[in-house]
Amino acid sequence: MTDTEKNLSESDELAREEKQERRMRRFMRVAVAVLILQALLLASRGVYDYVCVFRIPHGTAVVDYTVVKSHAPCFDFFFKSDKFRKLRPYLSYRRYVVPDGVTTIRSSSFSLCTEMREIELPDSLTEIAPFTFRDCRKLSRIRLPSGLREIGTNAFQMCSSLREIELPDSLTAIGHSAFTHCTTLTAIRIPDGVSKLDDYAFAHCGALREAEIPGSVYRIGTGAFQDCTSLEKVTISNGVRQIGWSAFQNCISLKNVEIPYSVMEVQGLAFGGCSSLSRVLNRSFQADFAPTAFAETPYYSWLHPDWEVFGH
C-alpha cells in the first residue's frame, strides 16, 4: 500500500469517527431536550413521586437531569438505551441532593456512580428501589430518612466505603442482597418493626462485627449474614421464628449464640463453618434443628441426633 493510499485510509477512518461523534451529540441533545420538557411539564403539575438521575457528559461538563415521574413515556426508552448505559460507568458525580417531595427513588438511579461520595435524601422518601446505589464504591455518607419503609433488592450492594449506616425505626423490609459486599460496614442494628430480612441481606460484609436482629423479624433469610468473617456478636431477639439456610455460614469469628424461646426451626448450615463457635445457648423447647445446622463446628455430628446444645 502506497503512502497516498495509507493517508486516504486514515482520512476515511477519521471521517467515520467524526460522523459517529456528531450522531451521538445529536442524540444526546435530543435526549436532554425531551427530558427537560417533560420535567417542566411534570413540575407544573406539582407532583414529585419518583426520582431518577441522568448525567450526560458534554465535553468537560456534566449535564444533570432529574426525572420526577416513573411512568414518563420517554423514561424507559432513555434509561434502557444501550447508548446511554455505555456512558454511565464513566460518570464522576460526587454529591447529589434528592429534592424534597420525592417518595421513591427509581431502580438503578445511582447505580455505577463510582465516584459518588455523599447523597442527601429527603424526609419524604419512603422507598429505595432495587439496585439504586449498587456499586457506588466510594459512597461513605448517607442518612436514611425517618419515614423510610423499604430498602429494595441489591440497593446498596458493593458500597464498599460505607462503614456505618443507621436504619430508621420506620423500616419494615430489607430486600434480597440489600447490603451484600459492603466490605467496610462494621455494625448494624435492625430496628424493631422490620418483618422482612431477605436472603443474603448482609452477606459478605467482611468487616461486620456486631448485628442485632429484633423479634419483629419472622425469618432470618437464607445466607443473610453468610461469610461475615469478622462477626463476633449476634443478638437474635425473642420473636424470631426461623433461622434460614446458611444464615450465618462461615462466620468464623462467632464464638457464641443464643437461640431464643420463639425459634421453631434452624435450617441446614445455618451456623455451618462457624469454626470458633464455642457455646450455643438454646432457650427454645420446640426448635427443630436440621442435621447440618452446625456443620463444621464443635457441635457437629452426622450420627448423633441430640445436638450438644446447652441450656433450655
**DSSP state letter for 211:** E
**Cα gap 43→150, rounded to integer Å:** 26
- For residue 260, count other CB atoms closer than 10 A to its CB: 19
Residue with cell 427454645: 284
**pLDDT score for 30:** 72
DSSP string of 217-255, one letter each residue: -SEE-TTTTTT-TT--EEEE-BTB-EE-TTTTTT-TT--
**DSSP labels, 145-193:** -TT--EE-TTTTTT-TT----PPPTT--EE-TTTTTT-TT--EEEPPTT
Mean pLDDT value across residues 115-128: 87
Residue whose C-alpha is closest to residue 162's, from 108, 208, 106, 124? 208
* Strand partners for 120: 97, 143
Residue 220 pLDDT: 98
For the ranges 118-122, 182-186, 280-284, the one whose mean pLDDT is highest? 182-186
CA dihedral 98, 185, 233, 192 (to 10 degrees): 10
Q: Which amino acid does the sequence have at 23? A: R
Q: 15-29, 114-128, 229-243 — which one is most confidently predicted on average?
A: 229-243
Quick one: which of 181, 178, 186, 184 has its CA closest to 144? 178
Q: Using 50, 70 and 90 to split pLDDT, how confident is the model at 222?
A: very high
C-alpha to C-alpha distance for 27 and 84, rounded to whole angstroms: 10
Top pLDDT among 221 and 31 is at 221
Measured CA angle at 29 (ends 24, 31), to 5 deg: 95
What pLDDT was estimated at residue 187?
A: 93
User: Sheet holding 50-58: strands in order across?
Assistant: 61-67, 50-58, 104-105, 127-128, 150-151, 173-174, 196-197, 219-220, 242-243, 265-266, 288-289
Decide: 129 and 102 in contact? Cβ < 8 Å.
no
Most confident of 37-51, 100-114, 209-223: 209-223
**Whats the size of the chain, residue-wise?**
312
Long-range contacts of 111-117 (CB under 8 A, 24+ apart): 111/135, 111/136, 112/88, 112/136, 113/55, 113/88, 114/89, 114/138, 115/91, 117/141, 117/161
CB 119 within 8 A of CB 140: no
Which is more confident, 254 or 141? 254
Predicted local confidence at residue 80, as pLDDT: 38
pLDDT at 270 over 90: yes
Q: What kind and span of H or E run contains 60? A: none
Give dist(CA 16, CA 22) in Å, integer: 10
Kindly state the average pLDDT of the residues 272-287: 90
The pLDDT tens digits of the residues spanning 167-183 come to: 999 999 999 999 999 99
| pLDDT at 261 > cutoff 80 | yes
pTM for this prediction: 0.72
What is the residue whose three cell numbers read 464455642? 278
Q: How far is CA 203 from CA 124, 168, 185, 218, in A?
A: 29, 21, 11, 18
Question: What count of other Cβ atoms lies within 10 Å of the Cβ of residue 168?
Answer: 14
